[in-house]
Amino acid sequence: MSETSATNRKTIQTLAETICRHVGHFSRAEVECLIRHFPGRGASGLDRGGFRSILHHTFGMTDDMTMDGVFRTFDKDSDSIVSVKEWIEGLCVFLRGTLDEKIKYCFQVYDLNGDNYISREEMFHMLKNRLTRQPTEEDPDEGIKDLVELTLKMMDDDHDGKLSFVDFEKAVKKENLLLEAFGTCLPDTTKDEKTDFTDMNKGI
């Protein structure tokens, strides 16, 4: 083994040890594999375009608004770049998180302006974005507004016209299907354990 390879291996092991303190659903070997195959390696990290390409090609996501929300949730320091540490910590929840972790994650994705609430306006934009318009509909926006009101009726526990994290958490724990009420932002749970970490840099 060359001196450069040995140094590189040691760097990866040290980084993996640090990251392992913050992630509970990946083994040390998996963390090392994710570091070695990090799509943003060789640069400062993953930019928005590269990140969205992975969500599309690896996880089948197509909704721009949702993918931007996922990027924002991974990018914890809001520097518009997902570092290797942010990437692995995000994937830990994205692929293998507990229900509590996924509730927090989905809420952050849906809180478009980061004010700790999902407002009527945010619900409207997300639902409008994901629902296919029928050509025969004269005013499809009215139907979406009705859907927003129905959603608030189901999930707005304190009746203040918007969803706090507590509202969202309580509704999802009562009915798990509401976890992705405003858009698909998690991978297919039947496939998450089969994800090939070495393939995540394809298509970027």
1-96 matches 99-190 in fold: yes
- How large is the C-alpha radius of gyration of the chain? 19
Position 123 confidence tier, pLDDT thresholds 50, 70, 90: very high
The pLDDT, as a whole number, for residue 192 is 44
Residue at token pair 């070495």: 198
**Domain 99-190 homologous superfamily, CATH:** EF-hand (1.10.238.10)
Q: Could you report the per-residue pLDDT of 6-41, keeping only the tens digit for each?
A: 778 888 899 999 999 888 899 999 999 999 889 876
For residue 79, the SS3 value is: coil
1-96 has which CATH code? 1.10.238.10
Beta bridge pairs of residue 46: 82
Which element (helix H / strand E) includes 26? none
Q: Could you report the per-residue pLDDT of 82-114, keeping only the tens digit for each?
A: 999 999 999 999 999 999 999 999 999 999 999
The pLDDT, as a whole number, for residue 89 is 95
Would you list the domain boundaries of the chain? 1-96, 99-190
Q: Which residue has the higher pLDDT, 175 or 188?
A: 175
- In angstroms, the CA 195 to CA 12 distance is 21
Q: Which residue has the higher pLDDT, 118 or 44?
A: 118
